[in-house]
Amino acid sequence: MSFRDDDSNSFKTKSGSFKTKSQASEWARKLELEKSKSNLSKKDISFYDYYSNWYDTFRITNVSIGTINRYENTGNLIADFFKDERLIDVTKIEYQKFINEYGKDHAKATVTRVNSYIKAMCMEAIDEQLIYKDFTRNINLVAGKPTRSSQAKYLESDDFEALIEYAKTHSSLSNVSLFEIYFVCESGARYEESAALPPLHGIALILKMIQLPLIRLTRFKLRN
């Protein structure tokens, strides 16, 4: 877009001034051409690559290891199903088939979470004008497994005590998983925090003090 400056008798744009209107028009044409080339190169990006760039940029700052793993797992699902397909080529029917396949062996809450990640990515791609329709809109979220009730997610007190005793008795340097279970049960730490601890924290365990990465200082009393 250009306009004539009567004082200097020249044509101006937001980025400069030109002696003639044709020069201003030519500059604007070249600018639009470069913009078009840039958009075309972006449109060749695969569904998986765009998703990976999106969550690397917008979603993995100040989140737990578990959340990062869930974003990465969703990326793996996209790569397995869509391969190298371009983002602009993904159709709503194809995406519904993806959800149908994934939902066969997963609960509704898990399917909903995966869909929410991809839907958020779609909104960003639409803002960038790479795609023009949200292929996740009004998708039927198929689930093959029932969602567990809140009661089913917790152990009875007797079972919890038995788990602690078993983990304490059988944990060793060659069986780190049981040590993690014991640590989580006794400290109240989240699983992601326990899994992130390096092996040298075994020394800190003896001292009954462990610094959970970027979160808090946790003290707990070991059972005799």
Percentage, residues of the chain above pLDDT 70 = 60
What sign for the dihedral angle of Cα 42, 43, 44, 45? Answer: positive
Same domain as 123, residue 52: yes
Same domain as 213, residue 160: yes
- Is 142 a member of any domain? no
Domain tally, the chain? 3
Boundaries of domain holding 30: 3-43
Q: Is the pLDDT of residue 38 over 50?
A: no
Q: Is the pLDDT of residue 42 over 70?
A: yes
pLDDT confidence tier of residue 207, bands split at 50, 70 and 90: very low
Same domain as 63, residue 110: yes
Same domain as 87, residue 74: yes
Same domain as 121, residue 56: yes
Question: Cα–Cα distance between 75 and 73 in angstroms, integer?
Answer: 5
Of the ranges 18-27, 126-135, 189-198, which is most confident? 126-135
Block residue for tokens 């919890």: 160
pLDDT confidence tier of residue 174, bands split at 50, 70 and 90: low
* Cβ contact 139:101 at 8 Å: no
- Is 78 a member of any domain? yes
Q: What is the pLDDT of residue 203?
A: 40
**Mean pLDDT across 132-157:** 79
User: Distances in Å between the alpha carbon of 151 and those of 6, 110, 154, 155, 190?
Assistant: 78, 18, 6, 8, 19
For residue 197 the two structure tokens come to 């601890």
- Is 66 a member of any domain? yes
Picking from 23, 16, 71, 79, the residue whose alpha carbon sits closest to that of residue 48 is 79
Same domain as 121, residue 60: yes
- Any idea which of 64-78, 127-141, 170-184, 197-211 has the lowest mean pLDDT? 197-211
Same domain as 36, residue 71: no
Percentage, residues of the chain above pLDDT 90 = 38
Same domain as 114, residue 80: yes
143 vs 22, higher pLDDT: 143
